[in-house]
Structure 1
Protein backbone atom coordinates (compact mmCIF):
# COMPACT_ATOMS: atom_id res chain seq x y z
CA UNK A 1 0.00 0.00 0.00
CA UNK A 2 1.19 3.53 -0.85
CA UNK A 3 0.04 7.10 -0.25
CA UNK A 4 0.72 8.76 -3.60
CA UNK A 5 3.35 11.08 -2.11
CA UNK A 6 6.40 10.74 -4.37
CA UNK A 7 9.61 10.40 -2.38
CA UNK A 8 12.12 10.66 -5.18
CA UNK A 9 12.46 11.33 -8.89
CA UNK A 10 14.46 8.33 -10.09
CA UNK A 11 15.90 7.34 -13.44
CA UNK A 12 15.52 4.21 -15.54
CA UNK A 13 18.94 2.62 -15.99
CA UNK A 14 17.85 -0.13 -18.34
CA UNK A 15 14.98 -2.29 -19.56
CA UNK A 16 15.92 -5.86 -20.48
CA UNK A 17 13.31 -8.03 -22.25
CA UNK A 18 12.96 -11.48 -20.72
CA UNK A 19 10.96 -14.60 -21.52
CA UNK A 20 7.18 -14.62 -22.02
CA UNK A 21 6.76 -10.96 -22.93
CA UNK A 22 8.15 -9.69 -19.60
CA UNK A 23 11.06 -7.43 -18.72
CA UNK A 24 13.65 -6.72 -16.04
CA UNK A 25 13.70 -3.02 -15.19
CA UNK A 26 16.63 -1.33 -13.44
CA UNK A 27 15.96 1.99 -11.73
CA UNK A 28 18.32 4.37 -9.95
CA UNK A 29 16.90 5.80 -6.73
CA UNK A 30 19.37 6.45 -3.88
CA UNK A 31 16.66 7.37 -1.37
CA UNK A 32 14.23 4.50 -1.94
CA UNK A 33 17.06 1.96 -2.09
CA UNK A 34 18.69 3.20 1.14
CA UNK A 35 16.76 0.60 3.14
CA UNK A 36 15.40 -1.61 0.33
CA UNK A 37 15.81 -5.35 0.39
CA UNK A 38 14.87 -8.26 -1.85
CA UNK A 39 11.08 -8.65 -1.84
CA UNK A 40 10.25 -5.07 -0.84
CA UNK A 41 7.68 -3.06 -2.77
CA UNK A 42 8.48 0.17 -4.60
CA UNK A 43 5.99 2.07 -6.75
CA UNK A 44 7.42 3.14 -10.11
CA UNK A 45 5.17 5.70 -11.80
CA UNK A 46 2.37 4.32 -9.68
CA UNK A 47 2.98 0.64 -10.43
CA UNK A 48 3.82 -1.55 -7.45
CA UNK A 49 6.96 -3.54 -8.29
CA UNK A 50 8.83 -6.10 -6.19
CA UNK A 51 12.53 -5.53 -5.64
CA UNK A 52 14.68 -8.36 -7.02
CA UNK A 53 18.10 -6.91 -6.23
CA UNK A 54 19.74 -3.71 -4.96
CA UNK A 55 23.21 -2.59 -6.02
CA UNK A 56 24.74 0.85 -5.42
CA UNK A 57 21.53 2.85 -5.38
CA UNK A 58 20.00 0.88 -8.28
CA UNK A 59 17.22 -1.66 -7.83
CA UNK A 60 15.89 -4.17 -10.33
CA UNK A 61 12.35 -5.50 -10.62
CA UNK A 62 10.57 -8.01 -12.84
CA UNK A 63 7.65 -6.62 -14.85
CA UNK A 64 5.31 -9.21 -16.31
CA UNK A 65 3.64 -8.89 -19.67
CA UNK A 66 0.24 -8.04 -18.20
CA UNK A 67 1.73 -5.01 -16.45
CA UNK A 68 3.59 -3.89 -19.57
CA UNK A 69 0.37 -4.07 -21.61
CA UNK A 70 -1.95 -2.42 -19.11
CA UNK A 71 0.29 0.40 -17.93
CA UNK A 72 2.66 2.94 -19.45
CA UNK A 73 5.70 1.05 -18.12
CA UNK A 74 5.98 -0.70 -21.48
CA UNK A 75 7.13 2.60 -22.99
CA UNK A 76 9.97 3.17 -20.51
CA UNK A 77 13.48 3.56 -21.88
CA UNK A 78 16.89 4.07 -20.29
CA UNK A 79 17.26 7.65 -19.09
CA UNK A 80 13.54 8.22 -18.47
CA UNK A 81 12.66 9.88 -15.14
CA UNK A 82 10.22 7.97 -12.92
CA UNK A 83 8.29 8.73 -9.75
CA UNK A 84 9.34 6.51 -6.85
CA UNK A 85 7.66 5.73 -3.54
CA UNK A 86 8.38 3.05 -0.96
CA UNK A 87 5.48 1.11 0.56
CA UNK A 88 3.82 2.96 3.44
CA UNK A 89 4.70 1.87 6.98
CA UNK A 90 1.97 1.25 9.55
CA UNK A 91 1.70 4.26 11.82
CA UNK A 92 3.08 6.72 9.27
CA UNK A 93 1.16 9.81 8.18
CA UNK A 94 -1.21 9.40 5.24
CA UNK A 95 -0.30 12.51 3.27
CA UNK A 96 -2.17 11.58 0.09
CA UNK A 97 -4.79 8.82 -0.08
CA UNK A 98 -4.80 5.02 -0.05
CA UNK A 99 -3.02 3.87 -3.22
CA UNK A 100 -2.59 0.19 -4.10
CA UNK A 101 -0.10 0.53 -6.92
CA UNK A 102 -2.48 -1.38 -9.21
CA UNK A 103 -2.95 0.67 -12.37
CA UNK A 104 -6.51 0.67 -13.73
CA UNK A 105 -5.71 2.13 -17.14
CA UNK A 106 -3.62 4.51 -19.21
CA UNK A 107 -4.63 8.12 -19.78
CA UNK A 108 -3.12 10.80 -21.98
CA UNK A 109 -2.13 14.43 -21.47
CA UNK A 110 -4.57 16.56 -23.46
CA UNK A 111 -3.61 20.11 -22.53
CA UNK A 112 -1.55 22.21 -20.14
CA UNK A 113 -2.60 25.67 -18.95
CA UNK A 114 0.18 27.49 -17.05
CA UNK A 115 -0.69 30.04 -14.39
CA UNK A 116 1.55 32.25 -12.21
CA UNK A 117 1.59 29.82 -9.23
CA UNK A 118 0.23 26.54 -10.55
CA UNK A 119 -0.67 24.71 -13.74
CA UNK A 120 -3.91 23.08 -14.80
CA UNK A 121 -3.44 19.85 -16.75
CA UNK A 122 -6.20 18.00 -18.57
CA UNK A 123 -6.04 14.25 -19.18
CA UNK A 124 -7.96 11.87 -21.42
CA UNK A 125 -9.94 9.36 -19.38
CA UNK A 126 -10.72 5.81 -20.61
CA UNK A 127 -14.49 5.40 -20.86
CA UNK A 128 -14.53 2.36 -18.57
CA UNK A 129 -13.01 4.40 -15.74
CA UNK A 130 -15.06 7.59 -15.98
CA UNK A 131 -17.64 6.44 -13.42
CA UNK A 132 -14.99 6.36 -10.68
CA UNK A 133 -13.90 9.98 -11.13
CA UNK A 134 -15.74 12.75 -9.27
CA UNK A 135 -15.01 16.43 -8.79
CA UNK A 136 -12.85 16.99 -5.67
CA UNK A 137 -12.26 13.24 -5.42
CA UNK A 138 -8.87 11.55 -5.34
CA UNK A 139 -7.01 10.05 -8.30
CA UNK A 140 -3.47 8.76 -8.78
CA UNK A 141 -1.55 9.86 -11.88
CA UNK A 142 1.85 8.21 -12.42
CA UNK A 143 1.90 7.46 -8.71
CA UNK A 144 1.04 11.02 -7.61
CA UNK A 145 -2.00 11.52 -5.37
CA UNK A 146 -4.05 14.40 -6.77
CA UNK A 147 -7.45 16.04 -6.36
CA UNK A 148 -9.76 16.16 -9.37
CA UNK A 149 -10.63 19.73 -10.32
CA UNK A 150 -13.09 19.16 -13.19
CA UNK A 151 -14.60 16.12 -14.91
CA UNK A 152 -16.02 15.64 -18.41
CA UNK A 153 -17.37 12.57 -20.20
CA UNK A 154 -13.93 11.44 -21.31
CA UNK A 155 -11.54 13.80 -19.53
CA UNK A 156 -10.62 15.26 -16.17
CA UNK A 157 -8.28 17.98 -14.98
CA UNK A 158 -6.07 18.58 -11.95
CA UNK A 159 -4.11 21.53 -10.60
CA UNK A 160 -0.38 21.05 -10.08
CA UNK A 161 1.44 23.16 -7.50
CA UNK A 162 5.10 24.18 -8.00
CA UNK A 163 6.39 21.36 -5.77
CA UNK A 164 4.60 18.71 -7.86
CA UNK A 165 5.79 20.32 -11.08
CA UNK A 166 9.39 20.38 -9.89
CA UNK A 167 9.69 17.05 -8.06
CA UNK A 168 7.64 14.62 -10.19
CA UNK A 169 7.44 13.59 -13.83
CA UNK A 170 4.15 15.48 -14.20
CA UNK A 171 6.12 18.70 -14.55
CA UNK A 172 7.56 17.57 -17.88
CA UNK A 173 4.79 15.43 -19.34
CA UNK A 174 3.95 16.78 -22.80
CA UNK A 175 0.64 16.74 -24.65
CA UNK A 176 0.14 13.23 -26.01
CA UNK A 177 2.24 11.51 -23.34
CA UNK A 178 0.69 8.44 -21.66
CA UNK A 179 0.19 8.34 -17.88
CA UNK A 180 -0.77 5.58 -15.46
CA UNK A 181 -4.13 6.03 -13.75
CA UNK A 182 -5.35 4.42 -10.55
CA UNK A 183 -8.87 5.15 -9.38
CA UNK A 184 -9.80 5.55 -5.73
CA UNK A 185 -10.09 1.99 -4.38
CA UNK A 186 -13.01 3.03 -2.14
CA UNK A 187 -15.12 3.84 -5.20
CA UNK A 188 -14.41 0.41 -6.70
CA UNK A 189 -15.36 -1.42 -3.50
CA UNK A 190 -18.58 0.56 -3.13
CA UNK A 191 -19.55 -0.29 -6.72
CA UNK A 192 -18.82 -3.98 -6.12
CA UNK A 193 -20.90 -4.08 -2.93
CA UNK A 194 -23.83 -2.28 -4.56
CA UNK A 195 -23.76 -4.66 -7.54
CA UNK A 196 -23.83 -7.64 -5.18
CA UNK A 197 -26.68 -6.13 -3.19
CA UNK A 198 -28.75 -5.54 -6.31
CA UNK A 199 -28.07 -9.09 -7.53
CA UNK A 200 -29.30 -10.51 -4.19
CA UNK A 201 -32.41 -8.33 -4.04
CA UNK A 202 -35.68 -10.28 -4.45
CA UNK A 203 -37.55 -9.74 -7.69
CA UNK A 204 -40.94 -8.18 -7.04
CA UNK A 205 -43.92 -9.62 -8.83
CA UNK A 206 -47.67 -9.02 -9.04
CA UNK A 207 -49.52 -9.09 -5.73
CA UNK A 208 -52.17 -11.82 -5.55
CA UNK A 209 -55.69 -10.63 -4.83
Structure 2
Protein backbone atom coordinates (compact mmCIF):
# COMPACT_ATOMS: atom_id res chain seq x y z
CA UNK A 1 0.00 0.00 0.00
CA UNK A 2 1.11 3.54 -0.78
CA UNK A 3 0.00 7.01 0.27
CA UNK A 4 0.54 9.03 -2.90
CA UNK A 5 3.28 11.16 -1.33
CA UNK A 6 6.13 11.04 -3.87
CA UNK A 7 9.57 10.51 -2.32
CA UNK A 8 11.73 11.35 -5.31
CA UNK A 9 11.92 11.63 -9.07
CA UNK A 10 13.91 8.83 -10.63
CA UNK A 11 15.23 8.44 -14.17
CA UNK A 12 14.57 5.51 -16.49
CA UNK A 13 17.72 3.78 -17.69
CA UNK A 14 15.96 1.42 -20.04
CA UNK A 15 12.72 -0.37 -20.83
CA UNK A 16 13.25 -3.70 -22.53
CA UNK A 17 10.60 -5.94 -24.04
CA UNK A 18 11.27 -9.45 -25.26
CA UNK A 19 8.27 -11.54 -26.24
CA UNK A 20 6.00 -11.85 -23.22
CA UNK A 21 8.58 -10.57 -20.73
CA UNK A 22 9.61 -6.99 -20.04
CA UNK A 23 11.61 -5.14 -17.44
CA UNK A 24 12.45 -1.59 -16.52
CA UNK A 25 15.65 -0.21 -14.98
CA UNK A 26 15.49 3.02 -13.01
CA UNK A 27 18.11 5.25 -11.43
CA UNK A 28 17.15 6.33 -7.92
CA UNK A 29 18.61 7.28 -4.59
CA UNK A 30 16.23 7.76 -1.68
CA UNK A 31 13.96 4.78 -2.38
CA UNK A 32 17.02 2.51 -2.51
CA UNK A 33 18.33 3.46 0.94
CA UNK A 34 16.77 0.35 2.53
CA UNK A 35 15.75 -1.66 -0.52
CA UNK A 36 15.48 -5.45 -0.57
CA UNK A 37 14.65 -7.91 -3.33
CA UNK A 38 10.89 -8.29 -3.40
CA UNK A 39 10.14 -4.79 -2.11
CA UNK A 40 7.36 -2.79 -3.75
CA UNK A 41 8.04 0.58 -5.35
CA UNK A 42 5.38 2.63 -7.10
CA UNK A 43 6.61 3.96 -10.46
CA UNK A 44 4.28 6.69 -11.73
CA UNK A 45 1.67 5.09 -9.51
CA UNK A 46 2.20 1.52 -10.73
CA UNK A 47 3.22 -0.96 -8.03
CA UNK A 48 6.31 -2.85 -9.22
CA UNK A 49 8.43 -5.46 -7.44
CA UNK A 50 12.18 -4.97 -7.16
CA UNK A 51 13.91 -7.97 -8.74
CA UNK A 52 17.47 -6.61 -8.80
CA UNK A 53 19.36 -3.59 -7.53
CA UNK A 54 22.94 -2.46 -7.81
CA UNK A 55 24.23 0.85 -6.53
CA UNK A 56 21.84 3.53 -7.66
CA UNK A 57 19.77 1.41 -10.04
CA UNK A 58 16.92 -1.03 -9.52
CA UNK A 59 15.14 -3.35 -11.93
CA UNK A 60 11.54 -4.51 -11.95
CA UNK A 61 9.73 -6.97 -14.19
CA UNK A 62 6.69 -5.53 -15.95
CA UNK A 63 3.83 -7.57 -17.38
CA UNK A 64 2.65 -6.70 -20.88
CA UNK A 65 -0.80 -6.14 -19.34
CA UNK A 66 0.70 -3.40 -17.19
CA UNK A 67 2.42 -1.77 -20.15
CA UNK A 68 -0.81 -1.73 -22.14
CA UNK A 69 -3.06 -0.46 -19.34
CA UNK A 70 -0.74 2.26 -18.05
CA UNK A 71 1.61 4.91 -19.37
CA UNK A 72 4.69 2.82 -18.52
CA UNK A 73 4.74 1.52 -22.09
CA UNK A 74 5.55 5.05 -23.27
CA UNK A 75 8.63 5.41 -21.05
CA UNK A 76 12.02 5.61 -22.71
CA UNK A 77 15.60 6.03 -21.56
CA UNK A 78 15.88 9.33 -19.71
CA UNK A 79 12.19 9.62 -18.79
CA UNK A 80 11.62 11.04 -15.28
CA UNK A 81 9.31 9.00 -13.04
CA UNK A 82 7.62 9.47 -9.67
CA UNK A 83 8.84 6.99 -7.06
CA UNK A 84 7.38 5.96 -3.71
CA UNK A 85 8.20 3.04 -1.45
CA UNK A 86 5.41 1.02 0.14
CA UNK A 87 4.16 2.67 3.31
CA UNK A 88 5.91 1.67 6.52
CA UNK A 89 3.63 0.48 9.34
CA UNK A 90 4.95 3.24 11.61
CA UNK A 91 4.80 5.99 8.98
CA UNK A 92 2.49 8.98 8.68
CA UNK A 93 -0.47 8.66 6.37
CA UNK A 94 0.02 11.91 4.46
CA UNK A 95 -2.08 11.21 1.36
CA UNK A 96 -4.81 8.60 0.87
CA UNK A 97 -4.96 4.84 0.34
CA UNK A 98 -3.20 4.13 -2.96
CA UNK A 99 -2.92 0.50 -4.03
CA UNK A 100 -0.60 0.97 -7.01
CA UNK A 101 -3.13 -0.77 -9.28
CA UNK A 102 -3.93 1.59 -12.13
CA UNK A 103 -7.57 1.85 -13.21
CA UNK A 104 -6.71 3.44 -16.54
CA UNK A 105 -5.14 6.48 -18.12
CA UNK A 106 -6.23 10.04 -18.79
CA UNK A 107 -5.02 12.84 -21.04
CA UNK A 108 -3.96 16.30 -19.87
CA UNK A 109 -6.20 18.70 -21.79
CA UNK A 110 -5.50 22.03 -20.09
CA UNK A 111 -2.91 23.61 -17.78
CA UNK A 112 -3.69 27.01 -16.29
CA UNK A 113 -1.88 29.21 -13.78
CA UNK A 114 -3.95 30.58 -10.89
CA UNK A 115 -1.76 32.70 -8.63
CA UNK A 116 0.79 30.37 -7.04
CA UNK A 117 -1.30 27.34 -7.97
CA UNK A 118 -1.55 25.48 -11.27
CA UNK A 119 -4.76 23.86 -12.50
CA UNK A 120 -4.54 20.63 -14.48
CA UNK A 121 -7.56 19.33 -16.36
CA UNK A 122 -7.53 15.66 -17.33
CA UNK A 123 -9.99 13.93 -19.66
CA UNK A 124 -10.89 10.35 -18.79
CA UNK A 125 -13.26 7.57 -19.78
CA UNK A 126 -16.78 7.50 -18.24
CA UNK A 127 -15.96 4.36 -16.25
CA UNK A 128 -13.14 6.25 -14.50
CA UNK A 129 -15.06 9.50 -14.01
CA UNK A 130 -17.84 7.46 -12.40
CA UNK A 131 -15.72 7.17 -9.24
CA UNK A 132 -14.29 10.71 -9.22
CA UNK A 133 -16.06 13.20 -6.96
CA UNK A 134 -15.39 16.84 -6.17
CA UNK A 135 -13.22 17.19 -3.03
CA UNK A 136 -12.48 13.48 -3.22
CA UNK A 137 -9.07 11.89 -3.79
CA UNK A 138 -7.43 10.80 -7.03
CA UNK A 139 -3.94 9.46 -7.73
CA UNK A 140 -2.36 10.94 -10.88
CA UNK A 141 0.91 9.21 -11.75
CA UNK A 142 0.95 8.03 -8.14
CA UNK A 143 0.45 11.52 -6.65
CA UNK A 144 -2.32 11.86 -4.08
CA UNK A 145 -4.39 14.88 -5.12
CA UNK A 146 -7.72 16.46 -4.25
CA UNK A 147 -10.28 16.77 -7.03
CA UNK A 148 -11.33 20.40 -7.46
CA UNK A 149 -13.87 20.01 -10.27
CA UNK A 150 -15.60 17.25 -12.25
CA UNK A 151 -17.46 17.44 -15.55
CA UNK A 152 -19.00 14.79 -17.78
CA UNK A 153 -15.74 14.33 -19.67
CA UNK A 154 -12.94 15.48 -17.37
CA UNK A 155 -11.81 16.45 -13.89
CA UNK A 156 -9.44 19.12 -12.58
CA UNK A 157 -6.93 19.39 -9.75
CA UNK A 158 -5.11 22.43 -8.40
CA UNK A 159 -1.54 21.90 -7.22
CA UNK A 160 0.84 24.00 -5.15
CA UNK A 161 4.43 24.86 -6.22
CA UNK A 162 5.88 22.17 -3.91
CA UNK A 163 3.94 19.42 -5.70
CA UNK A 164 4.99 20.76 -9.10
CA UNK A 165 8.66 20.84 -8.04
CA UNK A 166 8.79 17.46 -6.29
CA UNK A 167 6.91 15.39 -8.88
CA UNK A 168 6.82 14.98 -12.65
CA UNK A 169 3.42 16.68 -12.79
CA UNK A 170 5.22 20.01 -13.02
CA UNK A 171 6.75 18.98 -16.34
CA UNK A 172 3.57 17.53 -17.86
CA UNK A 173 2.23 19.16 -21.01
CA UNK A 174 -1.14 19.25 -22.74
CA UNK A 175 -1.60 15.95 -24.56
CA UNK A 176 0.46 13.90 -22.09
CA UNK A 177 -0.94 10.56 -20.90
CA UNK A 178 -1.15 10.07 -17.13
CA UNK A 179 -1.90 7.05 -14.95
CA UNK A 180 -5.09 7.25 -12.88
CA UNK A 181 -6.11 5.32 -9.79
CA UNK A 182 -9.52 6.02 -8.31
CA UNK A 183 -10.10 6.15 -4.57
CA UNK A 184 -10.48 2.49 -3.63
CA UNK A 185 -13.06 3.24 -0.92
CA UNK A 186 -15.68 4.25 -3.47
CA UNK A 187 -15.16 1.05 -5.44
CA UNK A 188 -15.54 -1.12 -2.34
CA UNK A 189 -18.69 0.67 -1.23
CA UNK A 190 -20.25 0.20 -4.67
CA UNK A 191 -19.30 -3.48 -4.72
CA UNK A 192 -20.75 -4.13 -1.25
CA UNK A 193 -23.99 -2.31 -2.03
CA UNK A 194 -24.74 -4.09 -5.30
CA UNK A 195 -26.00 -7.39 -3.78
CA UNK A 196 -28.53 -5.38 -1.77
CA UNK A 197 -29.94 -3.55 -4.76
CA UNK A 198 -33.36 -4.49 -6.00
CA UNK A 199 -33.24 -6.16 -9.44
CA UNK A 200 -36.53 -4.39 -10.28
CA UNK A 201 -35.58 -0.84 -9.38
CA UNK A 202 -31.79 -1.07 -9.71
CA UNK A 203 -31.48 0.97 -6.49
CA UNK A 204 -31.68 0.86 -2.70
CA UNK A 205 -35.23 0.28 -1.47
CA UNK A 206 -37.02 1.52 1.67
CA UNK A 207 -37.22 -2.10 2.79
CA UNK A 208 -33.43 -2.40 2.61
CA UNK A 209 -32.93 0.85 4.57
CA UNK A 210 -35.37 -0.17 7.33
CA UNK A 211 -33.82 -3.62 7.56
CA UNK A 212 -30.42 -2.07 8.12
CA UNK A 213 -31.52 0.41 10.76
CA UNK A 214 -32.09 3.56 8.69
TM-score tier, shorter chain, comes to: over 0.9
What SS is found at the alignment partner of 1:15? strand
Q: CA deviation at 1:199?
A: 6.2
**Superposed structure 1 runs of 4+ greater than 3 Å apart:** none
> Do 1:24 and 1:62's aligned partners in 2 also have CA atoms closer than 8 Å?
yes
Q: CA deviation at 1:47?
A: 0.1
Q: CA deviation at 1:19?
A: 2.8
> Do 1:72 and 1:178's aligned partners in 2 also have CA atoms closer than 8 Å?
yes
Structure 2 residue runs without a partner (length 5+): 206-214
- The 1-side partners of 2:187 and 2:152 are apart by 18
What SS is found at the alignment partner of 2:105? strand
| CA distance 1:69–1:199, change in 2 (3 Å) | farther
> Do 1:15 and 1:78's aligned partners in 2 also have CA atoms closer than 8 Å?
yes
Q: What RMSD over aligned residues (CA atoms) do the two structures have, in Å?
A: 1.7
Structure 1 residue runs without a partner (length 5+): 205-209
> Do 1:113 and 1:120's aligned partners in 2 also have CA atoms closer than 8 Å?
yes
What corresponds to 1:207 in structure 2? Answer: none
What SS is found at the alignment partner of 2:115? coil
- The 2-side partners of 1:173 and 1:102 are apart by 21
What corresponds to 1:186 in structure 2? Answer: 185
Q: CA deviation at 1:130?
A: 1.2
- The 2-side partners of 1:151 and 1:25 are apart by 34
Q: CA deviation at 1:34?
A: 1.3
What corresponds to 1:74 in structure 2? Answer: 73
After the TM superposition, which residues 49-198 of structure 1 pair with which residues of structure 2 at under 5 Å, given as runs? 49-198=48-197
- The 2-side partners of 1:177 and 1:134 are apart by 22
- The 1-side partners of 2:152 and 2:97 are apart by 25
State the Cα deviation string for residues 136-189 of structure 1 (Å, max 9, x = none): 000000000000000001100000100111111100110000000000000000
